[in-house]
Structure 1
Amino acid sequence: MFSGPERERIAAALAEIACAAGEVLRRYHRGPCPHALKADGSPSSAADIEAEALIVAALAARFPGIAVIAEESAAADELAARPSQHFFLVDPLDGTRDFLAGTPDYSVNIALVAGDRPVAAALVAPGLGRAWWAGDATVEASVIEGHPGAGRPVRARPAPPSGLVALGSRRHGDPETALCLAALPVSETRRSGSALKFGLIAAGEADVYIRCGPTMEWDTAAGDHILAAAGGCVVIPGGGPILYGRYRAGYRNGPFAALGDPELAAGLALPAPRGTGGGPEQPLTAAHR
C-alpha cells in the first residue's frame, strides 16, 4: 500500500501529466478535429487518441510496471482481463461530444487504484483552466501555461439550509435521476459537462450529482477520489462506494450519487443497477488478487 506522502507525490505527478494532455486537447478545441463513432455509438476523436498516447507514455515513464486501463486503447479482451492489484484508470477526454460542439467543460481524468478503490487522482478542466488533485487531501489550482499552479486546499460544503445546487449533464437525463433528485431539497439545477461536476462539488460550488445511466470506471474514478478526499462521497444503491476493477462487468458502473455532504445519502433511494453485460459485480477482492 502507498503511504500518505507517496499518494500526495503521485497525485501531483498525475496533475502535471493531465495538464500536459490538456494542452493537446486545447490545440484541437474549436478547430478541426477528425472523429468517428465507436461501436457503442460514442465518439472518438483525434484529440482523445493523441492525449491518451501522451498520458500512457508519461505514466509508463514515471510509474513503470503499473498497468494502465485507458478508454481509447481498451479492447474487448483487455476489458475481460483481471487487473493487477495496482492500476491506473484513464479518460483522456471526458465529454467528447461537448468538446466537439465547442463547449469548454471537458476534462482529463487519471486515477491510481489500489485494490478496489482509488488512492490518488487528478482531474483537469483545460477549457476552464482549472485542476484538482488528491492524495489524502484535495487541492485546486489554476492551469498556467500547461502546468498546475500553486494548489490551495478545498473542501466540499455542508448541505446549505437554503437548498441544494444539483449538477446535471447537458446530454444525459432520465426519469430515474429526476425521481432521485425530487427526494432531495434541490433549489437550483445547473448543467455541466464531463467529470468536472465532481470537482465543482469538491470545491463547495455545488452539492449533488446523480447519474442513473451507464458510465465507465474511467469516467468516475478520478472524480470519486477527489470528492471523497474533500469530505464528500460517491455512493451506489445500498449506500456503499463504487468498487473499481470490476473486469467481469466490463468496467461498467451502475447508478451513483456524488454528494458534497455525506449525510444526504440517507435521503437517497438510487435504483437497482440494470444488467451490465457481465453478470454480478466482481470487485477486485483479496480472493481475486
Structure 2
Amino acid sequence: MLLIRLLMVTHNRRSDKSFIMQNMIKNLSIVARSAGAAIMKVRNKGFEVVNKADKSPVTEADIASNEVISYQLAQMYPDIPILSEEGTKISYTDRSKWTEFFLVDPLDGTKEFIKDNGEFCVCIALMRKNRPVLGVVYAPTQDTLYTGCAESGAYVSLSGSSPQQIRTRPPSEGEGLIVVGSRSHPSPDLAEYLDKLNVAKLSPAGSALKFCQVAEGKAHLYPRFNPTMEWDTAAGQAIVEAAGGTMTSLDGSEFPYNKENLRNKGFIVKA
C-alpha cells in the first residue's frame, strides 16, 4: 500500500507539473500572438529605422512588441522577472541570483523585418536554473506558432488550427544533410565546416525560424559560428530539444545562459 501511495504521489506531482507547463504554454502563446499583432500593425503603417548603441537596428515594431510582452507577462506572472532584448539594463549582480525568468526577443530578425521578407518572429522562453525549459516562437506573417517543453513535446499551429506534434528527423544512413543557415549573417567558418559533411542542401533563413525547421523535421542541422545573443536562441533551443533534437556549444558542451556578457558564442543544432 505504501508503494502504491508513493507512486500515486509521484504521478500527481508529474501531472501537476505538466498541467502548469501546459497552462503556461497557452498563456505565452496568447502573449506572443498579441505581440505579433503589434508588430504587424507597425509593418502595415510604415516605420523608421534607428541604430542602437551597438549599431544594431531597432524599429517601432521592436518597441511595441516589447511593451505588449512586458505588460502581459507582468500581469500573468508578476513574480517571474523578465530579461528582454529591449530591456537589458539589469545588473548581473541581480540577475545572477534568479532561479527562474523569462528570456524574450520581442522581434527576432529585425533585419528581416526591415527587408519585409516575412522571416521574423516573436520569441519567449522560460528559463529555470539558466536552462530553457519552455519556448514559444510565433511568426506573424505566416500566423504560425511553435511551442515546446520537455513535459509535453513540441507542437506547431498553423493559422490558429489545433496544434500538431512535431519531431526532429535525423538523417538516414548515407542521406545528404539539409542544413539551415543565417540569411543576414553568413560566415566563412560555416563553409569550411560544411565542406567536411555530406550536404545535400543549404537553405538560408532568418531569425529563430531556423530552429523550428530542425524541430519539425525540415532540416537536419543548424550550425552557427557568428555571435548571437541569449534571447536569440533560448526559445528555439527549448522547442528543438522538446522535439527530440540537441543544441550544444561548438565543442559539444552545454550551451550557457544568463552569463555576465549576454553575447553567445557559436553552437550546433542537430536533429
Same fold (TM over 0.5): yes
Structure 1 distance, partners of 2:209, 2:104, is: 15
Structure 1 distance, partners of 2:248, 2:218, is: 19
Higher helix share: 2
Structure 2 match to 1:171: 184
Note if 1:231 corresponds to 2:244.
yes
Structure 1 match to 2:225: 212
Indicate the larger mover: 90-99 or 27-36. Answer: 27-36
Structure 2 distance, partners of 1:252, 1:11, is: 26
Structure 2 distance, partners of 1:235, 1:66, is: 26
| Residue in structure 2 matching 1:155, options 167, 181, 184 | 167
The one-letter code of the counterpart of 1:101 is K
Structure 2 match to 1:276: none
Structure 2 match to 1:279: none
| Residue in structure 2 matching 1:252, options 242, 254, 263 | 263
Q: Percent identity?
A: 34
CA RMSD of aligned residues (A): 1.7
8 Å Cα contact 1:138/1:229 also seen in 2: yes
Structure 2 match to 1:139: 155
Structure 1 match to 2:254: 241
Note if 1:128 corresponds to 2:142.
yes
Note if 1:187 corresponds to 2:200.
yes
Q: Per-residue CA shift, 1:186-221, capped at 9, x if unaligned? A: 110111110011111101111111111111110000
Q: Per-residue CA shift, 1:116-159, capped at 9, x if unaligned? A: 21111101111122111112210110133xxxx31111000011
Structure 2 distance, partners of 1:182, 1:5, is: 45
| Counterparts in 2 of 1:80 and 1:105: CA distance versus 1, 3 Å | farther
Structure 2 distance, partners of 1:210, 1:80, is: 32
The one-letter code of the counterpart of 1:191 is P
Secondary structure of the residue aligned to 1:29 is helix
Runs of 4+ in 1 over 4 A off after TM superposition: none
Secondary structure of the residue aligned to 2:106 is strand
Structure 1 distance, partners of 2:254, 2:22, is: 22
Unaligned runs of 5+ in 2: 1-12
Query: How far did 1:177 drift?
Result: 1.8
Give me the TM-score of the superposition, normalised by structure 1.
0.83
Indicate the larger mover: 108-117 or 128-137. Answer: 128-137
Indicate the larger mover: 13-22 or 3-12. Answer: 3-12
Secondary structure of the residue aligned to 2:107 is strand
